[in-house]
Chains A and B, each alone.
Chain A
Amino acid sequence: MATHEFAAEASHAHAAPQGFIRKWIFSLDHKVIGLQYFFLALASVCVGMFLSLLMRIHLIWPTAVLPFLGEIKPETYLSLVTMHGTIMVFFVLTTAPQAGFGNYFLPIQIGAPDMAFPVLNMLSFWTTFLAFVAAVTTFFVIGGAPLHGWTGYPPLSALQAAGPGEGLGADLWAISIALFCVASLMGALNFITTTLDMRAKGMSLMRMPLTCWAWFLTAVLGLLAFGVLLSACILLLMDRNIGTSFFVPLGTINGQVTAHKGGSPLLWQHLFWFFGHPEVYIAILPAMGICSQVLSVASRKPAFSYKAILLSMLSIVTLSFTVWGHHMFISGMSPYSAYGFSITTMAITVPSAILTFCWLATLWRGKIQFTAPALFGIGFVSLFVSGGVTGPFLAQPALDIPLHDTYFVTGHFHLIMGVASIFGIFAATYYWLPKMFGRMFNEKLARLHFWVSFAGTYAIFMPMHYLGLAGHPRRYSQLTEVGFLHDLIPLQKFITFAAFITIAGQLIFLVNLFWSLKFGAKASDNPWEATTLEWTTATPPPHDNFGGHTPVVYNGPYEYSVPGAPRDYVMQTDPEIEPAH
């Protein structure tokens, strides 16, 4: 393999900045940018969670008058739905695990002093920040936030007269997503180049931690997917503002004939889901890497079959671009293509099952330490299985007929894409918090946080599957109109109460995080006795990551409990060990 010390050193010409603004605001340091992304995602998740809380309250007390907010109207409920989805998918699930932790730890784990393009990195963060500002601003403009859902199907999303929120709010929404796409494309280029060109001597591709592989593959997904969404958003903005008709056919809205004709609403759906399905894996792949990492550390064993995990992730990446039509089985596209999309979708069960098997086998015959990151890694596996097993129902177009657009789907994707990824983020946070901030967190509070989140998550999302079986449609702001929905209100109440408890449980995390930053015990350089490069450097790492020298790598990333080794872990920089089986 090629080593690139020259490239690494040349690109890292910038010295440690001194002023506050260059150090913490417009920083070129990947670690600071990683933290900026982390805190942006934290702010976003608080907003997204608050919106979901309002939704849950409204569903079971539709006439409740809330302090400061008043009564939630049906259109406001749909705005909450839209922005909850948008904020969670883009600014949390895409931002935290990839842009946040990836930015901070990819260069360190491969032994590089920074990302390949530091200025691009800074630009990409600030563009994301602008996108977030645009998203949040939608609530404060005339008409409020759009009500078309995070999937933004036209003509609803393309016509200003389609409802409240479809004016300036919808423009800002599309601009926000377009900006996010631009930022993600810049980020993806940076991640790919860094991984390929900036590895330290000895860090062959097959010695990279699985987290790095996950970030790299996610970047490849992002590069191919976000460009498509960006184009779709631009076309949508043109339909909305300059009279084109990409997505809008001849029709009426609010009693008026529209000025469009000849467009295809299904074109948007194809473009959107061509991005949308890879996006699911953009959210979860980093969590897969993190899970492989923390389970290996916790069980003091190598991640079971590095190659199988890697191949599975690669297969998922490849397949993810061939399955988008499973979101469109009943959209009106050709029923023959549904057949093909179903086969590719079902094929994803194979790498997913192998991954699950590998994680279980990693724990098998280990010496499992139930640290907070390990607990969240374990929670991730459990949620991945639970969210995964409902996939084959929805992958079958025939079964999708009764289940499509019901709470069954909501339960499915929240478990697998939402909460499983969030558990990955929590595992990463607890795992790397000592390295990032030099402080340990409170272990008891972290465990309490795990138990509330784990049980709470299941209490919220498992019952949604039952609602879906009974035919409960998604995105209904009131349950009083349709007869059979009355019978399901008790279950909706249960979900809301479970959400109250689970959301309250997240306060434990926030308190623990901020308390630890200030008062946590000082962390040692390698508190988990882990092997990868970030644990060889100071805590927190210096500006150039390794204090003036470039590490040289001799071992794989998961050499735990190697027979004959003096201790139960062999650092990647330790003298080369004989490969053991």
Chain B
Amino acid sequence: MGLVLLIVICIITFTSIFFFLARTWWFPAGAAAAAAALDHQFVNTGVAMGIAFVVAQVGLGLILWKYRDRGSSGGAQYYSGETHSEILVIVLAAIGFMAMDIGVDVLGGHLWAAERFRPAEAGATKVEVNAMQFAWYFRYPGPDGKFGATTPELEDASSGGEGAIGLDSRDPAAKDDIVSGIMVVPVNREVEVILRAHDVVHSFAVPAMRFKQDAVPGLAIHMHFTPTRTGDFELLCSQLCGLGHYKMHGIVRVVTNEEFDKWLAAREAEKQ
């Protein structure tokens, strides 16, 4: 039985590890400035925890095999685990893990701080992300750089676009606001997203950008990321928001600066 346990535990351990190493299923190719460092931190953590995983599992298997009851007269050896040397081993193991914790806290914390402790750069492209059951609308402030007022009373989901987010056309700042069903942003320029939810909590997730942030009713959450590749990237809702949660997805289209300006100008022209 000890040997079977050892073999089964080893099979489970090395199969699990294999698929991590082979990257059979892995993060989508990064498309934002933060992706590389984040992936790197994932791999570093993976190495540390992978070693702990293999050592503990294989150690367990080996102990089970070696110290199985063989029916001979020899008994187990009495260890209380409370002699000085035994406690020292425990303390050393604890110190080892504390050191690992501190390493992880510092490195991982640094990444978090870099992403979330500072506001967006001054020249960032501003996009207000509006989430509602079960659609995304993206608003651009237009040439005046200001978002116009919105009110819940004016919301009309069936009219889509400006109506869906309740844009108040009486507000002068609203005159040049652009509302789009897909999110278009320029490449290599920071995007400041302002996340708003109109009904329940949603979450704006773009796996390729390694970006995810809840949109919470009552809050306007400011975040930023910098796309580094042009193309269409899938955006999905990752916070349970109701029966249509599974189909609340969209596109983040990253284009060149020129294409972005052209697109924005065309939308402005349409609006006038």
Contact = CB atoms under 8 A, between A and B. Distances in A.
B228 to A, nearest CB: 16
B27 A469 contact: yes
A346 interface: yes
A249 B213 contact: no
A75 B245 CA distance: 10
B56 interface: yes
Interface in A137-171: 147-149, 153-156, 159, 162-164
B12 A368 contact: no
A483 interface: yes
B67 A265 contact: no
Interface string B177-211: 00000000000000000010111110101010011
B216 A306 contact: no
Interface string A48-61: 00000000000000
B249 interface: yes
Nearest to B208: A471
B245 A477 contact: yes
Interface in B26-43: 26-28, 38, 41-42
B121 interface: no
A346 B60 CA distance: 23
B86 interface: yes
Contacts of A478: 246-247
A301 interface: yes
A263 B15 CA distance: 48
Interface in A253-308: 253-255, 257-258, 263-266, 299-308
Contact of B82 (A305, A349, A362, A392): A305
B110 to A, nearest CB: 8
Contacts of B113: 335, 339
A357 B82 contact: no
B25 A358 contact: no
Interface string B101-112: 100110011011
B8 A454 contact: yes
Given A366-B67, A390-B49, A404 B97 contact: no
Interface in A561-581: 561-563, 568, 579-581
- Which of B49, B221, B242 has the largest count of A CB atoms less than 10 A from its CB? B242
Interface residues of B, number: 106
A307 B104 CA distance: 28
A560 B90 contact: no
Contacts of A477: 243, 245-246
Interface in A316-369: 330-332, 335-336, 338-339, 342-343, 346-347, 349-350, 353-354, 356-358, 360-369
B45 A402 contact: no
A547 interface: no
Interface residues of A, number: 119
A406 interface: yes
A252 B2 contact: no
B98 interface: yes
Contacts of A354: 90, 93-94
B76 to A, nearest CB: 4
Contact of A561 (B64, B76, B203, B218): B76
A307 B82 contact: yes
Given A147-B243, A405-B239, A475-B240, A255 B155 contact: yes
Contacts of B28: 470-471, 484
Nearest to B218: A249
A514 interface: no
B16 interface: yes
Interface in B243-263: 243-247, 249
Contact of B67 (A299, A346, A353, A476): A299
Contact of B212 (A266, A308, A360, A404): A404
A164 B242 CA distance: 9
B100 to A, nearest CB: 7
Given A338-B112, A402-B207, A471-B27, A389 B238 contact: no
A336 to B, nearest CB: 7
A482 interface: yes
Given A354-B94, A454-B8, A471-B207, A488 B108 contact: no
B149 interface: no
B81 interface: yes
Interface in A378-414: 378, 381-382, 385-386, 389-390, 392-393, 395-399, 401-402, 404-406
B74 A393 contact: no
B64 A368 contact: yes
B78 A462 contact: no
Given A349-B97, A378-B64, A401-B38, A332 B78 contact: no
B26 A469 contact: yes
A459 B17 CA distance: 13
Nearest to A299: B76
Contacts of A362: 81
A265 B218 contact: yes
A460 interface: no
B53 A473 contact: no
Contacts of A75: 243
B67 A305 contact: no
A560 to B, nearest CB: 7
A356 B56 contact: yes
Interface string A444-479: 000000010011001000100011011101111111
A169 to B, nearest CB: 13
B75 A561 contact: yes
A32 to B, nearest CB: 36
Given A349-B97, A363-B60, A398-B111, 4 more contacts: A347-B101, A368-B69, A462-B12, A470-B27
14 contacts: A264-B218, A265-B216, A302-B78, A306-B80, A342-B105, A342-B108, A342-B109, A356-B56, A360-B63, A362-B81, A396-B45, A396-B104, A405-B203, A482-B249
The 3 tightest CB contacts between A and B, nearest first, are A249-B218, A305-B81, A471-B207
